[in-house]
Amino acid sequence: MKNIVFFSKDLNIGGMEKSLVILLNELVKFYNITLVLENKTGFLLKKLDKKIDVKEYKISKSKNVLIRKLQNGFRRFSWWLKNNKKYDFACNYSTYSFWGSRLAQFSSKNNALYVHSNYVQMLKNKNNIVDFFEKHKINKFNKIIFVSNESKKAMDVFFPKLSDNFVVINNLFDYQDILKLSNEKVTIFDKKYTNFIFLGRLENESKNLDLLLNSFKKVVVKNSCFRLYLIGDGPYFKNIEKFILKNNLENNIFMLSTKENPYSYLKNCDCLILTSNYEGFPVVYLEALVLNKQIMTTIPVSCPYIDINDYAIKLENNASKIANNILNFKKKNIEYKIDFAKINENEIADLKLIIEGK
């Protein structure tokens, strides 16, 4: 059985982290797996298969630059001595981790970098984009794995010589677990209202929560029978609380913080809404489709096996137009005919080809 290693930051609740756990729990059926985390913390640790060896690789954050560089340099050198080309496959699963890329490249000649967002839209400036991926030493990776066709196409422009190494494999998700957990009873939704839900990290740069909040403010002025529920946590939490109070929206916008089981909330709302500036391929799209929920989004994306354009109401980046979309929204019962088991099976097969060096 081949030995493979993955690198990431932690296993706190998040779309990327959930996908990593599901992926590793599937791959452990075929490989010996080591998971290296910057911080061996997070609720999702207990979801990992016990056969997976979890290690911690601490990054020095000393305020003294010289000490920080010496400590991190020593730790990197120690990893190289112990693990140079030790593994049959190595993957940096965390795109924002430069240390993960270096260790993955040390650990195996057969290596890959996962790109979970559209970094071209995120970084905007050509120099920023090139500098970011050159810090990862992108040319030293055998494969760059994108979670959407759109992210891959955007990067083709900046690294055309590497495009043959670019592949699209969407994040895995446990659709059976989602269905099971969604049956947990929740009573917060008043069916007299049309209930929208946002699930994700509460930060404004990528999620563009200001746009969502201002759109909903316009909705409530015209029709108070709409409600928005936000599930998640992050640096924008307090800003949202202030917005709700300032605009007297306590009866229409509700903050539910992070939920260990968000699926029962998603199942009982009427529509998932995202007004993001950029995304890779949000796992929450797939979770909504499993539960037959309608989707409104500014970012409809696709991968080899599913195209969100086929299922979502496309939103423009304009608060007044989004408000009109919400006001014109009609509740309806739908049932998507999607073979989620086959999608997961295909994506595992695609990744196994990379792990096997084919």
User: Taking the CB of residue 162, how many other CB atoms lie within 10 A of it?
Assistant: 16
Domain boundaries, the chain: 3-172+342-355, 175-339
Question: What DSSP character marks residue 170?
Answer: P
Cα distances (Å, whole numbers) of residue 161 to 25, 104, 105, 262: 34, 21, 19, 42
- Give pLDDT tens digits for 278-326: 999 999 999 999 999 999 999 999 999 999 999 999 999 999 999 999 9
What's the pLDDT at 357? 86
What's the pLDDT at 82? 95
Q: How far apart, in whole angstroms, are the C-alpha atoms of residue 37 and residue 93? A: 10
Q: How far apart, in whole angstroms, are the C-alpha atoms of residue 150 and residue 280? A: 8
Cα distances (Å, whole numbers) of residue 233 to 14, 84, 99, 204, 245: 10, 38, 26, 12, 18
Tokens of 319: 């608060």
Q: Grade residue 358 by pLDDT with cuts at 50, 70 and 90.
A: confident
Task: Look at the alpha carbons of 296, 299, 303, 307 in this order and tell me if their dihedral is positive or negative.
Answer: positive
Q: Which residues contact 346 (CB under 8 A, 6 or more apart)?
A: 304, 305
Place of tokens 């005919």: 337
Residues 254-275, mean pLDDT to the nearest whole number = 95
Beta pairing class for 306-307 and 302-303? antiparallel
Q: Do domains 3-172+342-355 and 175-339 have the same CATH topology?
A: yes
DSSP-assigned states of every residue in 229-288: EEE--STTHHHHHHHHHHTT-TTTEEEEE--S--HHHHHHSSEEEE--S--S--HHHHHH
- Residue 13: pLDDT above 80? no
- Residue 74: pLDDT above 90? yes
| End-to-end Cα separation, the chain, in angstroms | 17
DSSP-assigned states of every residue in 109-141: SSEEEEE-S-HHHHH-SHHHHHHHHHHTTGGG-
Q: How far apart, in whole angstroms, are the C-alpha atoms of residue 156 and residue 164? A: 9
Assess if CATH 3.40.50.2000 describes domain 175-339. yes
Q: How far apart, in whole angstroms, are the C-alpha atoms of residue 161 and residue 190? A: 55
- Give pLDDT tens digits for 139-148: 999 999 999 9
Architecture of domain 3-172+342-355: 3-Layer(aba) Sandwich (3.40)
- Give pLDDT tens digits for 197-254: 999 999 999 999 999 999 999 999 999 999 999 999 999 999 999 999 999 999 999 9
Angle at 220 between CA 216 and CA 222, to 5 degrees: 120
